[in-house]
C-alpha cells in the first residue's frame, strides 16, 4: 500500500484528539530518522505564505491556514480543508484584510467543544496602529467572527519598528489559551526592550486576555521573536524563538512548568537552527524543531537536553520557507508533516520515522 494512501486509512479509526490528551505524554523514546515520502500542495494561488496546520480536528478534517497576496489587492487569510473523503485541499474559509489594513500570518487552535480560534497580525497601511485580532469559528473553519485583540499598539506613530507580530496560540490543559507574540511596544520604555516575546492568557475562549508576561526578554538590542510552544513528555513546556539583534536570529528555547511562568533571559541555543522556528512534540515524546533560515529539523529524544539533525532536510537546499512541523498520523503513528512556503506555493512534505 502506498504510504500516502495508508495515511488516509489511518483516519478511519477515531480522530486524533486522543493524541493531545491533557495528561502528560509518555517518556520520549528513541527512533530512527525521518524519511520523506510524498509532497502535497495546499495552494499555489496569489503567492501564498505562512502556512500553519490544525491536524485532524474534531470534525475529522486537516485544516491549513495561510495568506494569499492578490496582485493589486490586500492580503487575504485563507483556510483550506482536506479529509479522507476529499484528500485534495479545498478552500473553505476566507478572512479579508479590513480596508486600509494589512492582515496576515494566521494560526489556529481548537477547544474540546470543537470551537476554533485563529489569531493574525494586523497593521494599518500608514503604520499608525498595530493589532493581533483573534477570530472564532464554530462550524469547522467555514465562517469566522471577531472575538478580541490579543494586544494592540495605537501609539506606533507611523513606525515599522513598533509593531506586534507572529501570534501563536496554545490551549493549556485547563482550557485556558496562552497567546504568544513578538512585541516592539517596549522599545521606548526605560529600560528599553527592542523586542520581547510577550504572552497573555485567556480563560474565556479569547474574549479577554490577562496581563502581559515577558516570556523572553532582555533590555537593549536583543530581539527575541517568532515564538512557538509545545508540551514535553515530562509535562513541562518548551518555548522556541529566534534571537535577532544580538545573536544573528539563532533559535533559542526555554522550559516552563506551566507554560506561563518562564525563567528570566533568553534561554539556550539550539544548534543549526536560525530564524522563524516551530516546535512540536510527538506522541512518543520526541521533540522536533524546524526553522526558516536553515530548513533543517532538529530532534531531541530527551526533552530538549540534547539535539541532533535529521538527514535529509524536508526540502533539500531550500531556505526562508517559514516551516511548521506537525504529527499528522493517527495516535502513535510515526508520520509527520512539514508545512512550508516554497516556489510560490504552500506545500506539505510527509515523512515517517
Would residue 294 count as lying in a domain? Answer: no
Residue 14: predicted pLDDT: 35
Contacts 24+ apart (CB under 8 A), 101-105: 101/74, 101/125, 102/74, 102/75, 103/67, 103/74, 103/75, 103/77, 103/133, 104/49, 104/50, 104/67, 104/75, 104/77, 105/50, 105/67, 105/165, 105/166, 105/167
Residue 316: predicted pLDDT: 76
Would residue 149 count as lying in a domain? Answer: yes
Tens-digit pLDDT profile for residues 65-105: 999 999 999 999 999 999 888 889 999 999 999 999 999 99
Q: What CATH number has the domain bearing residue 273?
A: 2.120.10.10
C-alpha cell at 232: 514535553
Average pLDDT over residues 121-148: 98
Range of the domain at 233: 46-284
Would residue 242 count as lying in a domain? Answer: yes
Q: Domain count of the chain?
A: 1
- Cβ pair 296, 263 in contact under 8 A: no
Average pLDDT over residues 313-331: 83
Residue 313: predicted pLDDT: 85
Would residue 27 count as lying in a domain? Answer: no
- Cβ pair 195, 184 in contact under 8 A: yes
pLDDT level of residue 17 (50, 70, 90 thresholds): very low
Would residue 224 count as lying in a domain? Answer: yes
Average pLDDT, the chain: 90
pLDDT level of residue 332 (50, 70, 90 thresholds): low
Residue 319: predicted pLDDT: 75
Residue 331: predicted pLDDT: 56
Tens-digit pLDDT profile for residues 53-68: 999 889 889 999 999 9
Would residue 55 count as lying in a domain? Answer: yes
Percent of the chain exceeding pLDDT 70 equals: 90
Average pLDDT over residues 165-186: 98
* pLDDT exceeds cutoff 60 at 1: no
* pLDDT exceeds cutoff 50 at 28: no
Would residue 320 count as lying in a domain? Answer: no
pLDDT level of residue 18 (50, 70, 90 thresholds): very low
Separation between Cα atoms, residue 199 and residue 237, nearest integer Å: 14
Would residue 10 count as lying in a domain? Answer: no
Amino acid at each position: 500500500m502506498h504510504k500516502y494512501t495508508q495515511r488516509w486509512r489511518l483516519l478511519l479509526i477515531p480522530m486524533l484528539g486522543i493524541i493531545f490528551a491533557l495528561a502528560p505524554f509518555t517518556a520520549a523514546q528513541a527512533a530512527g530518522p525521518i524519511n520523506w515520502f510524498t509532497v502535497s500542495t495546499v495552494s499555489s494561488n496569489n503567492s501564498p505564505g505562512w502556512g500553519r496546520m490544525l491536524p485532524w480536528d474534531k470534525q475529522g478534517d486537516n485544516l491549513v491556514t495561510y495568506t494569499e497576496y492578490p496582485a493589486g489587492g490586500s492580503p487575504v487569510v485563507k483556510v483550506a480543508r482536506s479529509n479522507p473523503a476529499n484528500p485534495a485541499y479545498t478552500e473553505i474559509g476566507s478572512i479579508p484584510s479590513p480596508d486600509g489594513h494589512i492582515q496576515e500570518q494566521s494560526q489556529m487552535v481548537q477547544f474540546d467543544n470543537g470551537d476554533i480560534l485563529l489569531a493574525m497580525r494586523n497593521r494599518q497601511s500608514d503604520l499608525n496602529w498595530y493589532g493581533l485580532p483573534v477570530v472564532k469559528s464554530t462550524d469547522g473553519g467555514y465562517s469566522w467572527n471577531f472575538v478580541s485583540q490579543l494586544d494592540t499598539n495605537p501609539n506606533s506613530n507611523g513606525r515599522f519598528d513598533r509593531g506586534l507580530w507572529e501570534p501563536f496560540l496554545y490551549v493549556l490543559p485547563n482550557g485556558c489559551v496562552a497567546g504568544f507574540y513578538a512585541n516592539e511596544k517596549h522599545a521606548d520604555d526605560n529600560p528599553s526592550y527592542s523586542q520581547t516575546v510577550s504572552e497573555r492568557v485567556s480563560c474565556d475562549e479569547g474574549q479577554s486576555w490577562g496581563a502581559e508576561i515577558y516570556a523572553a526578554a532582555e533590555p537593549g538590542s536583543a530581539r527575541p521573536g517568532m515564538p512557538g510552544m509545545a508540551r514535553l513528555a515530562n509535562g513541562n513546556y518548551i518555548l522556541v524563538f529566534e534571537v535577532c539583534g544580538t545573536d544573528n536570529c539563532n533559535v533559542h528555547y526555554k522550559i516552563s512548568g506551566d507554560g506561563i511562568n518562564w525563567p528570566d533571559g533568553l534561554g539556550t541555543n539550539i544548534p543549526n537552527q536560525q530564524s522563524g522556528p516551530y516546535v512540536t512534540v510527538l506522541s512518543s515524546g520526541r521533540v522536533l524543531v524546524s526553522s526558516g533560515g536553515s530548513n533543517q529539523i532538529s530532534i531531541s529524544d530527551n526533552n530538549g537536553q540534547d539535539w541532533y539533525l535529521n538527514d535529509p532536510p524536508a526540502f533539500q537546499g531550500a531556505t526562508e520557507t517559514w516551516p511548521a512541523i506537525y504529527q499528522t498520523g493517527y495516535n502513535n503513528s510515526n508520520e509527520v508533516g512539514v508545512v512550508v512556503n516554497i516556489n510560490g506555493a504552500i506545500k506539505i512534505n510527509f515523512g515517517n520515522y
